[in-house]
Amino acid sequence: MALQKKLTRLKKIISGMHSCLVAFSGGTDSSFLLKIASDILPKDKLLAVTADSATYPKEEFTFAKAMSRRLGVRHKIIRTDELRDRRFVSNPPDRCYFCKKELFGRLKKIAAQLNFNFVADASNISDASDFRPGNIAKERFKVRSPLAEAGLTKQEIRSLSKNLGLKTWDKPALACLASRIPYGRKISAQLLKRINRAEIIIKKMGFRQVRVRDYDNYCRIEVSKSDIARLITKSNQIVDRLKKLGYNCITLDLEGYRSGNMNTGLMR
C-alpha cells in the first residue's frame, strides 16, 4: 500500500472514532498520532494523557507537556506508581504487562468519565518484531492502535512526520527506564534514577540514542553504531562521571544500540 494511501486510511480510522483519548509519551509515534487526531477531531473530543512515573525519563515528561501545547491539544497528567506492584518490582519477563495494565485501566476510566469512545496508543506494525507482553493488557482493555490498523511502519511514521514538519520525526526511540535492567533483578526508584542520570550525562555530551544497561556494579553503554568511535574519545570523562554514580566498571557495547536488546530469546 502506498504511503499516502496509508495516511488516508489512518485519517478515516480516526474520523470514525469520533472521540479519542491518546496515551501520549511525546515520542515519534504518539506525537504523529496526536497531530493527525488533532487535525481531524474537535478539540473537545480529543485528550492526550501522559503518565508521570518513576520509569519515565523526566526530560521526556517535560517534552510531552511542551509538545501537547504546541499541537494545541488538551493534556492531562496522571501519576502511576508501578513500584507499588510487587509483581512489577520483581522484574519478570512479562513485567510490561503489569505496567500497561495499570496505565490502560486508568485511561479507560478517564475515557468513560468523559464519554470518549476509545483509548488509543501509538503502536505500529514494526513493534510486532519485539517481545511485548503489554499487548495482552491492551487487548484486555480494548485499546485501539490506529497506526498499526493503518499498516504504518516506524520508518513510514518518521517520513510522514518529517513531511508534516514535526520536530519528532527523527527523535530517538523511547523506552521505559526499567527496560535497562535484566529480568529477575529487583527494580527500585533509586536504580531508575541512577540509570536516568547516567543517560543524561552521555546525552549532554552530544549523543542522541543512548541506553545504559544496568548490571548492579557495572553498566553497558549502547549508542548508535556510527557514534561508537566518538564516544571512545570521551571515555575518560564518561568513566569518571559514571563511577561517581556507583558503577565500578563501565563497558561499551561494540554492536551499538539495538531496540529490545534485553528481550533476546523471548520472542514467541
Q: Which CATH number fits domain 3-170: 3.20.20.10, 3.40.50.620, 3.90.226.10, 3.30.1390.10?
A: 3.40.50.620
Question: What are the start and end residues of each CATH 3.30.70 domain in the chain?
Answer: 188-263
What is the fold of 188-263?
Alpha-Beta Plaits (3.30.70)
Strand partners, 210: 223
Tell me which residue has cell 493534556: 75
Cα–Cα distance for residue pair 22/75, rounded to 1 Å: 10
What pLDDT digit, counting tens, does each position of 89-125 carry? 999 999 999 989 999 999 999 999 999 999 999 999 9
Question: What are the start and end residues of each CATH 3.40.50.620 domain in the chain?
Answer: 3-170
What pLDDT digit, counting tens, does each position of 164-205 carry? 999 999 999 888 999 999 999 999 999 999 999 999 999 999
What pLDDT digit, counting tens, does each position of 14-61 carry? 999 999 999 999 999 999 999 999 999 999 999 999 999 999 988 898
Cα–Cα distance for residue pair 163/178, rounded to 1 Å: 33
Query: Residue 119 is placed in which grid cell?
Result: 483509548
Question: 16: helix, coil or strand?
Answer: helix
